[in-house]
Amino acid sequence: MHMHSNFPSQPDSGWYHDRRYRVFKQAKAEIGHLLGYFEPRHSHNGHMMQTEAGKEVINFSGYDYLSLTRHPDVQQAALDAVARFGSSAGASRLVSGETPLHQALEQRIADFLGVERALTFVSGHGANVTTIGFLFGKSDLILHDAYIHNSVLEGIKLSGAERRSFNHNDVQDLEEKLKQARPFKHVLVVVEGVYSMDGDAPDLRAIVALKAKYDFVLMVDEAHSLGTIGETGRGIAEMYRVPPEAIDIWMGTLSKSLVSCGGYVAGHRDLIDFLQYNCPGFVFSTGLPPANAAAALAALDIIDRAPSLVEELQDKSRHFLMQAQAAGLNTGTAGGTPVFPIYLDQQAAILACSALRESGVNAFPIIYPAVSKNAARIRFFLNRAHSYAQIDTTIQLLADFLSSVTEPDLAA
């Protein structure tokens, strides 16, 4: 077969050499070697982790909050699913990709949350993008917390709806925006159960109360709140004792407390039925791999029968916060969740994380452009299996490092 010879030997890469690319290249050259991004690990992503160099480190960068990744029930469920159904769903669930595991998981999620139905997606990020993009359009308004996740913002872009943000966790500002929300066909308000960069939660009860005054659809992203808050881990509705049906769209992920991969949307049976047959990111995608469905289902069963796991995580979360604040570290608005930001200037955050890694602690800086230049932080995800001693040691290491450096050191 004759191969065409008029193709360039190297693809023309100039099309993406815009300002964003130049900023990225400069930042990577200056600080990339300090960050440790994309470094392979050689163990499971639990409270401890083995680095590429074979070093065991205390790990605060994974979100296996309840330490279930290696639970024997979860592992066996995944193995059994592969043995019976294979490694892939093999097709869209609309045709031959459906298994009893998908149906059992979705019913289990719905029952656990206290709503009628749920639908699982192969990606948590994709679940937000495709659900918002499908349900809302150019004649609609979407109001979101200023700190909302990227997946929501991408979904809003896809929808073409008008987008307005309200100040973080500021119900009064939300109400002011709602007063100005006419005339639109539909108004959607989106918040998170626990904010993944800040470790705080919205006043869900106050937001739900606004629904009596203003006609809007309420969506809550529970990626980081399912399994972590509420007396039995049922999330922010349980924490605030709000009826689950008061929220129109529940969204969550399978990758945090449920130690799998994927996402879900839950709510009224009519909404889920509509999405199941029409939402592009579901209909035109291969179904969730059977092993992922089985692992999430097993994890949910464990959480349901052992709420003490949630209680233990919450106790350690309170301990981390108390110790960090006692050490003079700036935790911002974090409180009672397993997500902890320690706010520093960008240079200090980078250097501190590098020093922590040298001392056997794995945590990552969150820096510009992920957050604004004046909001850099080190983010810690707490795992139920972390010991109190590991928490105390980590906080002391960080506090000691920060007290040992001077402003000129950080500016160098």
Q: What average pLDDT values come out for the chain (412 residues) when binned by 10 residues?
A: 53 74 83 79 88 90 97 98 97 96 98 99 98 98 98 98 98 97 94 97 98 96 98 98 98 98 99 98 98 99 98 98 97 94 94 94 90 91 98 98 70 40
pLDDT score for 109 = 99
Domain tally for the chain? 2
Would you tell me how many other CB atoms lie within 10 Å of the CB of residue 352? Answer: 21
- Indicate whether 207 and 340 sit together in one domain: no
Which of 364, 389, 360, 394 shows the shortest CA–CA distance to 379? 364
- Indicate whether 240 and 281 sit together in one domain: yes
What CATH number corresponds to the domain at position 224?
3.40.640.10
- 5 domain residue, yes or no: no
- Indicate whether 42 and 112 sit together in one domain: no
| Residue 227, phi-psi category: left (phi > 0), alpha (psi -120 to 50), beta (remainder) | left
- 407 domain residue, yes or no: yes
- Indicate whether 314 and 300 sit together in one domain: no
pLDDT score for 19 = 84
- Indicate whether 191 and 209 sit together in one domain: yes
- Indicate whether 146 and 264 sit together in one domain: yes
Torsion angle in degrees (nearest 10) through CA of 116, 207, 204, 125 = 70
Is-catalytic flag, 256?
A: yes
Given the residues 256, 260, 285, 386, select the one marked as catalytic: 256
- 344 domain residue, yes or no: yes
- 85 domain residue, yes or no: yes
Cβ-contact 340, 376 below 8 angstroms = no
Given the residues 123, 159, 196, 260, select the one marked as catalytic: 196
Last residue of some domain: 263, 285, 305? 305
- Indicate whether 141 and 117 sit together in one domain: yes
- 269 domain residue, yes or no: yes
- Indicate whether 276 and 142 sit together in one domain: yes
- Indicate whether 255 and 114 sit together in one domain: yes
- Indicate whether 224 and 356 sit together in one domain: no
- 66 domain residue, yes or no: no
Is-catalytic flag, 179?
A: no
Q: How far is CA 206 from CA 17, 235, 337, in A?
A: 46, 16, 20
Name the residue with tokens 């997946």: 151
- Indicate whether 297 and 313 sit together in one domain: no
Last residue of some domain: 254, 279, 305? 305
Which of 273, 280, 400 shows the shortest CA–CA distance to 329? 400
Q: How far is CA 122 from CA 23, 169, 250, 300, in A?
A: 32, 29, 16, 17
pLDDT score for 95 = 96
Cβ-contact 377, 371 below 8 angstroms = yes
Given the residues 102, 125, 149, 224, select the one marked as catalytic: 224
Domain that includes residue 116, residue range: 72-305
- 16 domain residue, yes or no: no
- Indicate whether 228 and 269 sit together in one domain: yes
What CATH number corresponds to the domain at position 311?
3.90.1150.10
Give the integer Cα–Cα distance in Å for 280 and 47. Answer: 37
Is-catalytic flag, 196?
A: yes
Last residue of some domain: 305, 324, 343? 305
- 20 domain residue, yes or no: no
The alpha carbon dihedral of 311, 317, 318, 319 has a sign of positive
3 state SS of 87: coil
